[in-house]
Amino acid sequence: MSLFDLRLQDVHNKLSHKELSVTELVDESFARIKATEASIQAFLTLNEEGARQHAAELDKQLQAGAERGLLFGLPAGIKDNIVTEGLRTTCASQFLDNYNPIYDGTVVSKLKSAQSVTIGKLNMDEFAMGGSNENSSYYPTRNPWNTEYVPGGSSGASAASVAAGQVYFSLGSDTGGSIRQPAAYCGIVGLKPTYGLVSRFGLVAFASSLDQIGPLTKNVEDSAFVLQAIAGYDAKDSTSANVSIPDYTSALTGDVKGLRIAVPKEYLGEGVDPKVKEAVLNALKVYESLGATWEEVSLPHTEYAIAAYYLLASSEASSNLARFDGVRYGVRADNPANLIDLYRKSRSEGFGPEVKRRIMLGTYALSSGYYDAYYLKAQKVRTLIKQDFDQVFEKYDVIIGPTAPTAAFKLGEQVGDPLTMYLNDICTIPVSLAGVPAISIPCGQAEGLPIGLQIIGKAFDESTVLRTAHAFEQNTEFHKLRPQL
Ligand SMILES: NC(=O)C[C@H](N)C(=O)O
């Protein structure tokens, strides 16, 4: 077994027992990046000097017998919409090509106090808008299982870099599926925590009522381990929930006897690839064999979720992205005729087509005369969707279905067709609108490409989500499969 196949906890122990130095581990990460990056293209900025310096410091501390943080020495990648002090943060947008933040986001500060080592900043769809990484204004990241395929998005490179063994874990953000869908496409584990569990201070806002940060890892135990380090109340994020944080690792008992699983019929209906459906049904058999029970249920407002999401998320984006004006942030256009022209030119040159599309849609939906018909109506639909989940959770502990209706698609295949691209999120978007936690874990393959199983839980019940996911993992081998690179 290679070092990379070990659980984070075991690597941490090896470091603690000095069987391995942080410098060796970090060197190995960069060696792997050198070997694979030409075909994967996951990183926008590498922190090579900073990471090596940090590793040397941690090794020195270890020699001196200092206390070790939870993620001591573990090489991490960070999605490029999470600000990192002194380390370029672009949101994969030309607009922010020159942006060097002067502070760390709360999750980055938390990773620093847990002593993980930041290897670099990971590619994404521009401002997190997209599901394939093709909306990056730099270059598309590729799927390690087959480099002609997309890794998903928007946290596509956060998933690809873990699957390719470049980093031991990464952070992504999820607005309508951006952690779970790429995790599914790349055959790894991606957790979107409950809205409010992880601070978004320092996450460049896309849709503030939906955005959540979460871990992408090789297995469920690692997911629990990283979540432990990043969860918790933060006064700097006004939507941060002041809840007590349980010990997530101790929830991983392997026991799902008596667990009541709901399977929404809308998630296995038309448009779902038969191989995906088969993988999900096989997973349900595994749960049955472990003493859990499942029943089909209905989330009747699912069909309105995508329309509601694209109205709400785009409305919020049009407001959040107003700050990028070429004055306070962003690359400034040359030779403007006046101030309005400066804004217009800078924004026209700086934003890519998908970002412009959403700003226009959102501005329209919020404009007077249309607000009630679009924005307000979408808010009402959101409430109905949340009520669908509340009702199911009165009788069931978790909801299970596919993460995405298909496995990864080919690069270029959907890029000219935004509506088809939006439909990939049909199983993840309702969960985001309801604000509840969900994880994607590998549960099968179709033509050599991974399939993801989505496990959805009650608000702040990450423990049950993780326990359910872990039980499956303990009894299957899918999480051990690695792409040949
Ligand atoms: N950002 C996300 O969570 C993904 C979604 N596909 C979007 O483009 O909005």
Residue written as token pair 């979107």: 192
- Of the candidates 93, 109, 137, 154, the residue annotated as catalytic is 154
Ligand 1 centre to CA of 255 (Å) is 33
Mutate to test the pocket of ligand 1, among 81, 132, 154, 180 (most ligand atoms within 8 A of CB): 154
Say which of 178, 199, 240, 463 is annotated catalytic: 178
Distance between CA atoms of 404 and 379, rounded to whole angstroms?
Answer: 24
ipTM of the complex: 0.97
User: Residue range 191-218: average pLDDT?
Assistant: 98
- 133 C-alpha vs ligand 1 centroid, how far in Å? 10
Residue-level pLDDT at 310: 96
Distance (Å, whole) CA 288 – CA 256: 9
Element at 38 (helix H, strand E): helix 22-40
Q: What top-level class would CATH report for the domain 3-259+397-480?
A: alpha beta
Asked if residue 276 has pLDDT above 70, the reply is yes
Give the whole-angstrom CA distance, residue 306 versus residue 428: 10
Atom of ligand 1 nearest to the CA of 428: 3
CA distance 42 to 353: 21
Q: How far is residue 112 CA from its own chain's centroid?
A: 20
CA 177 to ligand 1: nearest atom: 3
429 C-alpha to ligand 1 centroid (Å): 8
How far, in Å, CA of 112 to CA of 10, rounded? 20
Residue 128, number of CB atoms within 10 A of its CB: 30
DSSP-derived secondary structure letter, 87: B
Q: Pocket residues for ligand 1 (CB within 6 Å)?
A: 128-131, 154, 174-178, 313, 425
423 half-sphere exposure, CB direction, 13 A CA radius: 13
Query: For residue 386, what pLDDT is reported?
Result: 98
- Give yes or no: 132 in active site: no
Identify the CA nearest to 351 among candidates 336, 335, 330.
330
What would the pLDDT profile of 432-480 be if each residue is shown by its tens digit?
999 999 999 999 999 999 999 999 999 999 999 999 999 999 999 999 9
* 31: CB partners within 8 A, 6+ apart: none
pLDDT for 317: 98
Q: Is 16 a catalytic residue?
A: no
- Chain centroid to CA 184: 11
First to last CA, the chain: 17
Q: Is there a contact between 167 and 144 (Cβ–Cβ < 8 Å)? A: no
Compute the average pLDDT of residues 182-209: 98
| Ligand 1: residue whose CA is nearest its atom 9 | 129
Residue labelled with tokens 């393959």: 445
Domain ranges across the chain = 3-259+397-480
- Cα-to-centroid distance, 425 and ligand 1 (Å): 8
Q: What letters, b where the CB count within 10 A reaches 16 and e where it falls short, cover 384-400?
A: ebbebbeebbeebbbbb
CA dist., res. 332 & res. 280, Å (int) = 49
214 beta partners: 172
pLDDT (0 to 100) of residue 415: 83
Per-residue pLDDT tens for 55-107? 999 999 999 988 999 999 999 999 999 999 999 999 999 999 999 999 999 99
Q: Is 154 a catalytic residue?
A: yes
Identity of the amino acid at 423: L
Sequential DSSP letters for 184-249: HHHTSEEEEPPTTTB--TTBPPS-TTT-EEEEEESSHHHHHHHHHHHBS--TTSTT----PPP-TG
Q: How does residue 1 score in pLDDT terms, banded at 50, 70 and 90?
A: low
Distance CA 187, CA 202 (A): 28
Q: At what angle do helices 462-474 and 274-289 cross, to 10 degrees?
A: 90
State the distance from the centre of ligand 1 to the C-alpha of 376, rounded, in angstroms: 21
Tell me the two tokens of residue 444: 């099968």
Ligand 1 nearest-atom number relative to CA 178: 3
| 483: its two tokens | 């792409």
Ligand 1 atom at minimum distance from 130 CA:
8
DSSP, res 377: H
Q: Which two tokens stand for residue 356?
A: 């412009």
